[in-house]
Amino acid sequence: MMNKFWLILLCFIGLILSPVAFGWNDSDKDGVPDIKDACPHTPLGVLVDASGCDKSRLFKPVCLITTDDRVYPDTCIQATELALNFEFAKTEILYSQWQILAQIKQFLQLNDVKLCLIGHTDAVGSVEANQLLSEARAKTVKGILVEDYGFDPERFIVRGMGTRSPISTNDTPVGRALNRRVNFLVELDH
C-alpha cells in the first residue's frame, strides 16, 4: 500500500515537472512550446501557425539599405531594421530569429538583387577570433538561404566585420548582445 502511494506521488510530481524539465512551457498559451515559438508574445485567442506566429499576419514590405547608403526598392522611404542576433561565441541561428529570415526570404522573392550578408561580433575575445566568428555567422545565414530556401548562392556576398562596426556599447551585456549580428545590405550592379 505504501509503495503504491509513493509511486502515485512520484508520477504526479513527474507530470507537474515534466513541462518545465522538457521545455514544454507555453508562456503565451498559443499551443506552441516556448522553445519553438518564433513569436513568443502572441495575444490570447490569436490563431497561430506551427512557429507560433499569427496566421493572418502578412509581412510588411521590407526595405533595405544598399551598399551605397540608399534605400531599396525606390518605392521605400525608410529602411526596415532587420538584423539576425546571435548568442555569445555562437554561429547557430536561434529559433526566435527565423521570423527575420522569413522576411529576408520574402524580400529576395520579390526583388532580383544580390545581398551582402555582413557578420559582426562583440568585443570579447581576440581580433582574429572575432573576425573568423563574424564570417562564420554570415556563412551560416547564406547556408540557410541557399540550402533551406533554395536561392542561388551567387546572390550572396559574405563579409565578416569582426568588432569593427558596433551599433552599441561593448561595456554592457545588452550592448554586446546587439553587436552580435548579421546585417543585410543590397548590392546593386552598376
* DSSP codes of every residue in 79-124: ----EEE--TT--SPPGGGHHHHHHHHHHHHH---EEEEEE---SS
Instruction: For the chain, list residues with pLDDT below 50.
Output: none
Instruction: Quickly count: other Cβ atoms within 10 Å of residue 157's Cβ.
Output: 15
**Could you read off the pLDDT of 82-109 as tens digits, one per residue?**
999 999 999 999 988 988 998 999 999 9
- Are 105 and 149 in contact by the 8 Å Cβ rule? The answer is yes
For 166, phi then psi, to 5°, come to: -70, 150
In this predicted structure, what is the pLDDT of residue 104?
Answer: 95
In this predicted structure, what is the pLDDT of residue 14?
Answer: 64
In this predicted structure, what is the pLDDT of residue 18?
Answer: 57
Query: Under the phi-then-psi rule, with left for phi > 0, alpha for psi from -120 to 50, and beta for the rest, what region is 29?
Result: left
Cα separation, 97 vs 138, whole angstroms: 14
